[in-house]
Each structure stands twice: as C-alpha cells, then as structure tokens.
Structure 1
Amino acid sequence: MSLLFDVPAAPPVPVLGTQDRFPVRRIFCVGRNYAAHALELGNTVDREAPIWFNKAPAALCLSGGSIPYPPGTANCHYEMEFVVAIGAPAFRVAPEAAMEAVYGYACGLDMTRRDLQNASKDKGYPWDTGKDFENAAVIGAITPASSFGGIAGQRIALVQNGEVKQDGTLSDMIWSVPELIADLSRLYHLGAGDLIYTGTPAGVGPVSVGDVLEGEVEGLAPLRLEITAAQ
C-alpha cells in the first residue's frame, strides 16, 4: 500500500529549557469558563457542565511569528488562554486524580472569527467556521508541570500594541483544571499529545493588520504574535 500524498503534521511545540518537542494530537477548548467574559458577550454563565468545542491540529500556530489576517472575516478577535498539555492516558478519571495526566502548561490564543461565530449562534448552527481555521490555536513554549507548581491565582493577561486588554487570574475560572480534565475524560479517551485551552478572561476584542499581541500567564513562557496583511 502507498499513500497518495503526505499530510502535513501539526508543528510540535517547544518544551521550555530543553530540546524536546511536544507533538500535538488533538485540541480541545472550553467556552465561557470566565464569568465576566461570558457576560461581556451577552451569554449566560452555565454552571451545570463545561461547554466544549474543538480545533483541528491544522489550526495550531507557534508563538513568535506572524500570521496573515484570517480569511472570510471582518471581525477577528484575540482570546488569551491558559493551555494544559496532556502527557498520559486519562479516561473517566475523578478530579482528584486528573492532574496525574498533565505534562505541562503554556500560554495560548484562541483566535476567533467573531462575526462568523455570532452568525452561526444566531441560526443555532455549530461554531466551527468561527473557531476552527488556520492559525486559530496559537501556543507558546510548554513549561513542564513540575516547574510550574500548583494552579492558584496566577495572573493571565493580553497586551495589544503595548496596551493591556485582558487582565485576570487563573482562580477566576468557573471550572478548575482538574474538573475540566475529569469532565472531558467522560467524553474522550484523553492521551499524550492532547491540548486543552481552558477559556479566556474578559476583555476580548478585534485585531487589525499590524497589531502585535503579547500574552502571559505568570510562571510560563510568554507568547507573541504579529498580524500581517490578509492573503
């Protein structure tokens, strides 16, 4: 048997302070995990269960470079996120055991074509075109969990062209990381190479050509991205 063509793999993510690279298998994202962000977009806060959506590995984009303004949108938004990198199997795990599956953490951006997302929501359609597109899942270098310590009130922030736009703490999350992993493990056999984008604090907004985005989570390698002209 021979393959008709090669399919490009998602770029492996650097691991801070090493020559190692983290290969990416799947990308899971949780929506409305910060109450203030849900309210700023006119959404109700759902405390019954996390709201999940996916991005294809082809959407992955490494920090430090530039991306063209995405096609098909006139209102692309940044969403700064704390990303969890899974390094071991997890299936139907309890929150108390969920952190055993974590390899490390990274800064991330969930880029969103807000106009397409809103149009889909208004019609009751899935969000796919608003959320899953090339360069829509930006990620910085991964810090191993052993070098990060516990998740508490670390600052999470996004700076656009030198101005702070998002500024919150990880303790603002509605669903904690152990709760997110446990819930997702009821739906999937999680495994090494999976990424979980854990939601964004308030302050999301549009990007324009020429913008420089800088994201940080206290204790992690920062993230940087420049927006260039549309193709």
Structure 2
Amino acid sequence: MDHYKHIGNDGKVIPLPVGKVVCVGRNYLKHIQELNNEVPSEPLLFMKPATALCPLHQPIVIPKDKGPCHNELEVAVLIKETITRASIKEVKEAIWGLGLGLDLTLRDVQSKLKAKGQPWERAKAFDRSCPVSQFIEKRHVPDYTNVGFSLTVGGDIRQQGNTQHMMYSIIELLVEISNHFTLVAGDIVMTGTPEGVGPLFAEDHLEVTLDNHFAVRTFVV
C-alpha cells in the first residue's frame, strides 16, 4: 500500500518492502479462555495481505456495517531477510526488530465463519485491518521472552500483556512458520493477543505502549 511504510523508532523509513502479514491465533491461554476456544496443539496460523497494513498513529478506520470490530493488540516482528525451514540461529538473524500491531477482528463475522468451518479472512484480512506502530531495532530488545505491552481505551487499560505468557515464544513461532512457508524481507509476523479483546467505537481514543520504548496515541473513526 502506498500509504504504509515500515518506520523505525527514529521516524525514518526502514528500507524494506511491504509484504504479507502472518498472524498467530490463540497464543495466550487467558485469551483462549475468554473466547471459550479450544487450546490448539500447534500454533494456529492465518494471513493478512499487504493491503491490510496501515500506520497505527493515523486514525483507525473500522467497518460500519459488519458488526462489532474488536481490538487485538499484539507484538509485531519485522523480518529483514528470507527464511525458510530456518534454524533458531537463522531466525534470530532474520529479525529486524519489534513493534506493535492491532489485529482488528470483525467478531460476529468470524463467529459465523467458524460455525461453518470456513476460513477467517473476511473477518481478519479486510483493508486497514492491521494498524502497525513503528519498530524498535532488535539490539534494543535483548530478551524477546520478556516484552511488556498494553492498550488503553478512553484512558482505561483494556489489554496488558507480556511475551513471557506466550504458549509459543517469538523464536519458536518464526521457526514453525518458516517450516510451512517462506518469510521474506518486509514481512510482519503478529504473535498473538492476550486477554482483554473488546469492541471499538468511533471516537474511542487509544494508547498503545511497548515497554519503555514508545507509546502511540490514536483514535477510531
């Protein structure tokens, strides 16, 4: 998309192409429980196209005619080089850095699709369904297994998570994903959401934070 580019925490464009988004579902136990879902025996994977990407700091546009649109805040991983059937070492080398993204979800649409055993793309992959923040270079994030993040809506904390509560760690996820399909430079991996999902409404004011690295304020239209 011509309006989205990967941005570093210094505000400069990261010289990587805009690629696909690989998403991980049901990676935090309490989120699985809040939606009364089945615990997966392996990472649940789905994708969003590049057209789903948009800058998080710009107003978030949600569909008006498809039922509730829920927030799902997630740690996002930006990939800087091709990995396929990768080792742990290769995965670590392929990470550019970490940011945050919202996996916007049309919950009623998703529920109907799930009931029919159909894919989720109509609920998850619509245009602008993946607002993404700036990215922190990996050298500033020494421990991927202890990254805190949060979302407030109207000043109230709605989601608060830490990667230490993941069922599958960031590195484990990238190894697993690369064994099923190739990740290339500019792809983003969304690593799952903690509990606290809920509907967003026009004029909601949001703030997302990634540890002490950054905070982004935005609002819904």
Q: Normalised by the size of structure 2, how large is the TM-score? A: 0.94
Determine the structure 2 residue equivalent to 1:12: 5
Determine the structure 1 residue equivalent to 2:21: 27
Shift of 1:219: 4.0
Give, in whole Å, the separation in 2 of the partners of 1:18 and 1:164: 26
Out of 173, 197, 213, the position equivalent to 2:190 is: 197
Work out whether residues 60 and 131 of structure 2, in 8 Å CA contact, stay in contact via their aligned partners in 1: no
Give, in whole Å, the separation in 2 of the partners of 1:86 and 1:220: 19
Determine the structure 2 residue equivalent to 1:167: 160
Shift of 1:10: 5.9
Work out whether residues 67 and 109 of structure 2, in 8 Å CA contact, stay in contact via their aligned partners in 1: no
Q: What is the count of residue pairs matched by the alignment?
A: 220
Work out whether residues 160 and 194 of structure 2, in 8 Å CA contact, stay in contact via their aligned partners in 1: yes
Q: Sort the Cα spacing of 1:26 and 1:69 in 2 relative to 1 into closer, same or farther, 3 A.
A: closer
Out of 29, 36, 44, the position equivalent to 1:42 is: 36
Q: Sort the Cα spacing of 1:18 and 1:135 in 2 relative to 1 into closer, same or farther, 3 A.
A: closer
**Where does 1:54-133 land on structure 2 (aligned, <5 Å)?**
54-133=47-126
Q: CA RMSD in A?
A: 1.5
Q: Deviations over 1:93-129 (max 9, x none)?
A: 1235421110111011110000100110011111111
Q: Where does structure 1 lack aligned partners over 5 or more consecutive residues?
A: 1-7
Shift of 1:19: 2.5
Structure number, greater radius of gyration: 1
Give, in whole Å, the separation in 2 of the partners of 1:179 and 1:219: 25
Determine the structure 2 residue equivalent to 1:210: 203
Q: Deviations over 1:123-152 (max 9, x none)?
A: 111111110112110111111111222213
Q: Deviations over 1:2-47 (max 9, x none)?
A: xxxxxx546112111152334321110000000100110010211x
